[in-house]
Amino acid sequence: MITLPSATAVAQHHGYGKVGMVHIDAHADVGDTAYGGVLVSHAIPMRRLLKSGAIPGKNFVQVGLRGYWPERELFDWMKEKGMRWHLMAEIEARGFEDVLEQAISEALDGPEVIYLSVDIDVLDPAFAPGTGTPEPS
């Protein structure tokens, strides 16, 4: 949840559209409806950043996605917005350093400033058992 206000502040400082983001997370966090009746929740902050224009879609790169969410419709929305992503399976095949290097390059395809967001649930819950949204690797 801290990413929405802090990334917005970085974009306000450097200029909307001038910041790229690497979002390391098991989930895309681009939900389009209120989660549990709350509009500002852990399920939708990345969508709000994109809709506000703070981070351009083509410079919004997600790393480590896996599991049941997001659904196909959300992946379609992400693709429509120009977002890029690297699934956990790609990290397992190519290695984290290789994928991260590519993600940084994609995020900085235009912008000179990068914002890094790391969600604890990207870690296997065997190593981070306290996460509220566990996704095994």
Give per-residue pLDDT as tens, 88-99: 999 999 999 999
Percent of the chain with pLDDT over 70: 91
Looking at residues 81-89, what average pLDDT do you find? 96
Q: For domain 3-122, is the CATH number 3.40.800.10? A: yes
Selected residue with higher pLDDT from 74 and 107 = 107
What's the predicted TM-score (pTM) here? Answer: 0.90
Task: Burial-class residue 62 by CB neighbours within 10 Å (0-12, 13-18, 19+).
Answer: buried
**pLDDT, tens digit, for every residue of 5-37?**
999 999 999 999 999 999 999 999 888 776 666
What is the rounded CA–CA span in Å between residue 41 and residue 16?
Answer: 22
Task: Burial-class residue 33 by CB neighbours within 10 Å (0-12, 13-18, 19+).
Answer: exposed
**9 in Cβ contact with 114 (< 8 Å):** no
**CB neighbours of residue 74 within 10 Å:** 17
